[in-house]
Structure 1
Amino acid sequence: MLGGAAGAVLLPNLAGAAGTLEPLKDIAARKGMRFGCAVGWHGGSSFAESDYGRLVARECGVIVSENGTKWPALQPQPGPHRFGAADEMVAWAKRSGMLVRGHNLIWQSRRWPPDWVNQYDFGASPAQAAERLMTEHIKAVCTHFGREMFSYDVVNEAVDPKTGELIGNVLSQKMGVIEQIDLAFVLARQYAPGAQLVYNDYMGPGAGSAKHRAGVLALLSALRARGTPVDALGLQSHIGDMLPHTATAAGSEWRKFLDQVTDMGFDLLITEFDVNDRKLPADISARDAGVAAIARDYLDLTLSYPRCRDFLLWGMADHVSWLQHWPDAVRTDGLPQRPTPYDSELRAKPLRDTIVQALKFMPPRANSAQGQLYRPADR
């Protein structure tokens, strides 16, 4: 399935390359899937008119902002939200024929509310004050973007990967954790009634993720029992913590997990896919082949679920990947990571071919007919 040697294919002229490499979004759409990637929007024409921006527009039918639509970016200080940069990104997406996902309304980690929220004086009625803050934020974001955002990661990373327990933050300390998570989804449904509402997390197939998977299942079960309006589970899919020969061994546990999620009635999304090559050899050909092999194992299994209807990368080319700067992803040899389908010179790598093959051979998505793309309104 790797489809050839580990050499890269140079795309010197992206407009002219469309005839030689079919866009990934078109391959996915034939099976009823949306395909896209995250972008680190750096403002206006400097991104949109760059070679990388043109590559994203060519390959993707969906984009999501890496950080620009998170609460600290939109409201770094008390007062009105600052939507300027996010609006630029959305306008570019519309001009380019792309949909936009919202990421994220609430990042559950104690670290990631805006500083002013963490330092907020909740007064004599802390639960009511916390509810008001969260309501104002979610209402502001969802009403501002309206139908421009077809899908939201409503709550991000609410489960402690080491224990499987729910993570509290400054809001949940006042309201209760499950109550705060539930309210976030209720508010998102109220103010974005047509959007797909997603719980997003980074549990994976490996044995070291067993408690994380169990905690996510427990959370989803609790939310389902409460009647919380959650439509889907986002599988972040930052994979690569296992070598190819161990990925298959973890497959049965991953399949069991996905079975349990879909049996509860949830859809699936791959929301942040990349392959951490930290444990792979320095040699580029060997490393690219290893990345492709790890991806093949994961994608063949995960995309076999017709309820997995969206596939987003966390960056389309190596030089924009967050893994270049994440301390836990630094290679011992000091070499840059190669975790995406294109290298830093925008040359296609074996990982792209693996993605192509996975998309071509996956079953058609549920609710899709004759290649017609599934949309949330079809629910």
Structure 2
Amino acid sequence: MKPTRRAILQAGVMFGAMPPLGATARPRDSLGSAAARAGVTFGTSIAADTLVTPAQAALYLREAGILTVDWALIFGNLRPSADQFLTGDAEAILAFAAPSHTPVHGHALAWNESRPDWLMKLSTSELRKALDRHVDETVGHFAGRLPSWNVVNEPFWPGHGLAGDYRDGPWLRAFGPDYVVRAFQRAQAADPAGRLVLNEALAEAWTEDGARIRSGLLRLVDTLQDAGVRLDAVGLQGHLNPGQPFYDAGFADFLHQLAERKVEIWITELDIDDTAFPDDIAARDAAVAARYRDFLTAVLTVPAVTTVITWQLADSASWYVHEMLRLDADATRLPRPLPFDAAFEPKPARDAMLAAFETRRRG
């Protein structure tokens, strides 16, 4: 059952009352502390309902050095109707993170897939005003409290067959590809101190679509920089699918190309689709761990990679699990894509991540 907003806020207050966690309060072998020793910030996405389960909330706070707001700040969640601006879930997450001074990363301002029905009924001129208003009001509301934003999320999708491989949606229809520059400019104006990230999916896939997305990203970074737009980091999601072709060394070469453009590189939504792995849990967990180890070891050879964020931290919170149960409530082979299981216990994937951070530290 979905928790009420009151329960979420009460949980946020409860955890907000906990004493601040200093550097010595984090176990030396937490993912966050191990990553920090390697010069990397490790974190996880978090949803407001995480706060309702104390063991899960404590796990996320202990392991993460940064928290990404999962769905609370997506356009359709903030603005389910034109006259609403629902910030309660995001405020609960901020209240939860504040005592430990854990930074919270905003996700995401302009994403063509978040398009409530009311938005799609607007004229072109109205859509333009809606994007400007959304960026101005949202960034302005959280200025000084959210230190960074995924300003534009998933600008590319070759499957839509559009020029430049751009993803179709309201913002592309309103402005063409220039919506990307516009969103960055307005975000910077609304909070000049905020760090600005361009976030994309599937760049790590060694497929035709992945190649086109990588090419598109390099062109887009050049476009933003040529326009004088401040771009602090490029986020690459890292929803790894071992059932599809991958080439970690080639992906690392792409990261070097990005690094030449003087941007930080973040892995922003890391998890592993275990569909292609054995049903046996021990064997599957070992295969997932190996994929984490190999991917992160390759990625972390690139000095510009400064941040690694998993998309949730415990299996029970994974979007893979939620989607499977939505399609089949009686499913028994539930995905195990993350470093902690549904009981919030560590899995081999966590050890593999620790090993990759240690490899980076040793350099």
Task: Tell me which interval the TM-score lies in, with the shorter structure as reference length.
Answer: 0.7 to 0.9
Task: Name the structure 2 match of 1:317.
Answer: 314
Length-normalised TM-score, structure 2 = 0.85
- 2:29 equivalent to 1:30: no
Deviations 1:179-209 (A, max 9, x none): 1111000001111211111111112433312
Task: Name the structure 1 match of 2:340.
Answer: 342
Task: Name the structure 2 match of 1:113.
Answer: 115
CA–CA distance in structure 2, aligned partners of residues 214 and 327 of structure 1 = 32
Q: CA deviation at 1:334?
A: 5.0
Task: Name the structure 2 match of 1:305.
Answer: 302
Q: For 1:148, what is the secondary structure of its paired residue?
A: coil
Structure 2 unaligned runs (5+)? 1-20
Structure 1 unaligned runs (5+)? 1-14, 366-379
Alpha carbons of 1:205 and 1:169: their partners in 2 closer, same or farther (altered >3 Å)?
Answer: closer
CA–CA distance in structure 2, aligned partners of residues 356 and 150 of structure 1 = 26
Alpha carbons of 1:52 and 1:138: their partners in 2 closer, same or farther (altered >3 Å)?
Answer: same
CA–CA distance in structure 1, aligned partners of residues 252 and 282 of structure 2 = 30
- 2:187 equivalent to 1:165: no
Task: Select the residue among 56, 59, 63 that pairs with 2:63.
Answer: 59
More helix by share: 2
For 2:191, the aligned partner's letter is A
CA–CA distance in structure 1, aligned partners of residues 58 and 127 of structure 2 = 42
Deviates more, 1:265-274 or 1:253-262: 253-262
Alpha carbons of 1:295 and 1:148: their partners in 2 closer, same or farther (altered >3 Å)?
Answer: same
For 2:40, the aligned partner's letter is M
For 1:202, the aligned partner's letter is A
RMSD between superposed Cα atoms in Å: 2.6
- 2:62 equivalent to 1:74: no
Q: CA deviation at 1:84?
A: 1.6
CA–CA distance in structure 2, aligned partners of residues 330 and 357 of structure 1 = 36
Q: CA deviation at 1:46?
A: 1.9
Alpha carbons of 1:315 and 1:118: their partners in 2 closer, same or farther (altered >3 Å)?
Answer: same
Q: CA deviation at 1:94?
A: 0.5
> Contact 2:285 / 2:349 at 8 angstroms: preserved in 1?
yes
Alpha carbons of 1:205 and 1:143: their partners in 2 closer, same or farther (altered >3 Å)?
Answer: closer
For 1:29, the aligned partner's letter is A
Deviations 1:307-342 (A, max 9, x none): 1111111111111100113369999x9511110011
Q: State the aligned residue count.
A: 333
In the TM superposition, what are the counterparts of 1:217-366 in structure 2 within 5 Å? Answer: 217-242=218-243, 247=246, 250-326=247-323, 335-363=333-361
Q: CA deviation at 1:161?
A: 4.0
For 1:190, the aligned partner's letter is A
CA–CA distance in structure 1, aligned partners of residues 26 and 74 of structure 2 = 37
Task: Name the structure 2 match of 1:46.
Answer: 52
Q: For 2:143, what is the secondary structure of its paired residue?
A: helix
User: Which structure would you say has the larger RCO, counting Cα contacts within 8 Å and 6 or more residues apart?
Assistant: 1
For 1:196, the aligned partner's letter is R
CA–CA distance in structure 1, aligned partners of residues 265 and 74 of structure 2 = 22
Task: Select the residue among 70, 82, 107 that pairs with 1:103.
Answer: 107
CA–CA distance in structure 2, aligned partners of residues 364 and 68 of structure 1 = 38
> Contact 1:158 / 1:201 at 8 angstroms: preserved in 2?
yes
> Contact 2:249 / 2:298 at 8 angstroms: preserved in 1?
no
Task: Name the structure 2 match of 1:189.
Answer: 188
| Percent of matched pairs sharing the same residue | 29
Task: Name the structure 1 match of 2:15.
Answer: none
Deviations 1:276-314 (A, max 9, x none): 110000111111110011111110011112211111111
> Contact 2:293 / 2:356 at 8 angstroms: preserved in 1?
yes
Alpha carbons of 1:257 and 1:85: their partners in 2 closer, same or farther (altered >3 Å)?
Answer: same
Length-normalised TM-score, structure 1 = 0.81
Deviations 1:163-183 (A, max 9, x none): 66112322332322x211110
> Contact 1:274 / 1:340 at 8 angstroms: preserved in 2?
yes
CA–CA distance in structure 1, aligned partners of residues 174 and 345 of structure 2 = 50
CA–CA distance in structure 1, aligned partners of residues 305 and 326 of structure 2 = 27
CA–CA distance in structure 2, aligned partners of residues 339 and 26 of structure 1 = 22
> Contact 2:315 / 2:342 at 8 angstroms: preserved in 1?
yes
Deviations 1:212-231 (A, max 9, x none): 22222222222222222222
Task: Name the structure 1 match of 2:16.
Answer: none
Q: CA deviation at 1:98?
A: 1.2
